[in-house]
Amino acid sequence: MALVLVRWQKIPWSYPLLASHKLTLLVPLYILAPPVLEAYRRYWARLSWAAYGVEGSPPFYLALTLGFTIGWVGIATVMAIHLRLGWRQWQGRWPGGRALGGVVAGLLPLTLLIAGVEEILFRGVLASTLQSLLPWPALLLGVSFIFALCHLLWDGPQGIPQVPGLTLMGLVLMVARWSTTGQLGLAWGLHAGWIFALALGDSLALTQIDPDAPRWLAGKPGQPLTGLVDLALLLLTGLGLGWYGQGAGEGWPG
């Protein structure tokens, strides 16, 4: 399907991808992934979705909501630190209620879909499939590193500086699943909250990174996971989840 779209839309076969071209390729992937994963679950693995950490219970949705809140509040806190230290400059006006509501209404289901597909694929199906083959440390690192490398499909060589940060992000999301005894609700919500906050900031274009900001602290433009402050947010989130999950997380991996 990607090859057909590349030819039909006359997308250049080179990096970097324009944002519009990336979206053209991303949307069909996330539409195709759920039925493919369902077919794998039903006809190959023959397991319930609960085996991959997906449930329809109130605690699952509560954990998803909690994770989403932690995610966007964390990003908002980092942005506030950037603004306070002068690493970002305020350049826009906060939109009115109707305009803001329209942006939120468009982004919320999209970010939940993207985060949900990625969590079911990486922390769900892949992690659950490999847990009987790998010891826990290798499972943590292996799934997280694969998750990071897959982002290079979209970013190409320019995305290499983010691989360590994406690996750390994957580790935190694995810990989130562990801390809730194998359920994906918290990891899904956390991932969606991060994507939502970043996408909302980009859509409203309220701030821009200062060209004189220290890259090792503030990160490169368009690559937040290359900055020490953003990595510190991930690390603190992971440590908090690890502390929360002591005892509770002993049931996963089984």
Count of C-beta atoms within a 10 Å radius of residue 34: 14
123 close to 53: Cβ distance less than 8 angstroms:
yes
* Model pLDDT, residue 254: 55
End-to-end CA distance of the chain: 37
pLDDT tens column, 72-96: 999 999 999 999 999 988 886 777 6
Both tokens assigned to 182: 């194998």
Candidates 30, 46, 22, 64; CA nearest to 155 is 22
**Domain segments of the chain as ranges:** 1-46, 48-251
Residue 53: per-residue pLDDT: 94
C-beta neighbour count of 100 within 10 angstroms: 14
Q: Work out the angle between the directed axes of helices 228-244 and 163-179 (0-180°, nearest 10).
A: 20
Residue 125 has what pLDDT? 96
Output the six-digit token pair for 152: 């290079």
> Among residues 197, 41, 43, which one has the least CA distance to residue 121?
41
162 or 221: which leads in pLDDT: 162
Under DSSP, is residue 252 helix (H, G, I), strand (E, B) or coil?
Answer: coil
- Threshold 0.75, pTM exceeds: yes
Lowest mean pLDDT segment, chosen from 66-80, 178-192, 193-207: 193-207
Contact 168, 234 (CB under 8 A): yes
Mapped onto helix, strand or coil, the DSSP state of residue 88 is: strand
Which residue is it, tokens 């006359």?
Answer: 10
Taking alpha carbons only, the member of 195, 166, 168, 180 closest to residue 242 is 180
Percent of the chain exceeding pLDDT 70 equals 96
pLDDT confidence of residue 249? 52
Residue with tokens 């970010």: 111
CA dihedral over 246, 183, 139, 2, signed as positive or negative: negative
Model confidence over 97-108: pLDDT tens digits? 677 888 889 999
DSSP state of 162: G
Mean pLDDT of 103-132: 94
Mean pLDDT in residue range 198-226: 88
165: nearest Cα among 181, 180, 138, 147: 147
Contact residues for 44 (Cβ-Cβ < 8 A; gap 6+): none
Average pLDDT, the chain: 90
pLDDT at 247: 56
Rounded Cα distance, 34 and 119, in Å: 11
| Mean pLDDT along residues 125-152 | 94
pLDDT given at position 248? 59
Question: What is the SS3 assignment for 134?
Answer: coil
For the segment 177-187, the average pLDDT, to the nearest whole number, is 94
pLDDT of residue 188: 98
4-46 pLDDT, tens digit per residue, is 888 888 888 888 888 888 888 888 888 899 999 999 999 999 9
The CA–CA distances, whole Å, from 177 to 63, 104, 109 equal 10, 27, 22
